[in-house]
Amino acid sequence: MNILIPLLYTLGFALLGYLSGSLPFAIWITRLVKGVDVRDAGSGHATTTNTIRQAGFGPGALVLVLDIAKGFLPTWLALRVGQNDILSYSMPWLAPLTAALVVIGHCWPLFAGFRGGMGNASAGGAILAANPLAFVIGLGILVSLVLIIRHSARASVLTGLLMAPAFWLLGLGSPAIWVAAATGLVLAGRFAVDWKRQYRELWLDREQPKR
């Protein structure tokens, strides 16, 4: 086996994933609609929810779709190349690596001074490419934990850690399991910085008034 070919594909898809993730749609769209940097107010992150706070539901919905798409497309391509024996051998690591780099790019984007979002939507897009049912289950885990814990950062950390084991228990297949494991670790690390944060702006985890 010529090791150069899988190495080139690995490096190419890693770069594709990171550059795709680095497209800061929340920043661009909020600046276009409101003329402000989405990171200068609200949560301070380039996220869908922060876009909604500052630019409204329409721009926020557009950011959500684009952030999901930038996770979906590179991962979908990596799955097609990595698992269909195009080159007479498979590269099962290609999709998880690409997906992880998408989320890393979203969180620390090259095109926005390495100050980006949190990665949930992009990770969701990558998981959607691997298995639509896994996407629905992962979303259900996140929403359930937010409702129970009432703290989105802690819920996201736990979701990142629990998705891959849950998908394994449900027999969803190795692509979904490994993509969830790779993206989940990045999500857990990213959201861990907000573990003790007292939110005042999110809908379900606002800080309760003192009595």
pLDDT tens track for 74-133: 999 999 988 765 555 678 899 999 999 999 999 999 999 999 999 999 999 999 999 999
Task: Write the CB contacts of 99 (distance below 8 Å, at least 6 apart in sequence).
Answer: 17, 71, 74, 75, 78, 123, 126, 127, 129, 130, 179, 182, 183
pLDDT recorded at residue 100: 98
Higher pLDDT, 148 or 207: 148
- What tens digit of pLDDT does each residue of 173-207 get? 999 999 999 999 999 999 998 888 775 544 444 44
- Contacts of residues 81-89 at CB distance under 8 Å and 24 or more positions apart, as own/partner, are 81/9, 81/13, 82/9, 82/13, 83/175, 87/5, 87/6, 87/9, 89/1, 89/6
Q: Does the model's pTM come out above 0.95?
A: no
Answer whether residue 2 shows pLDDT above 80. no
pLDDT recorded at residue 88: 55
pLDDT recorded at residue 194: 84
DSSP letter, residue 68: H
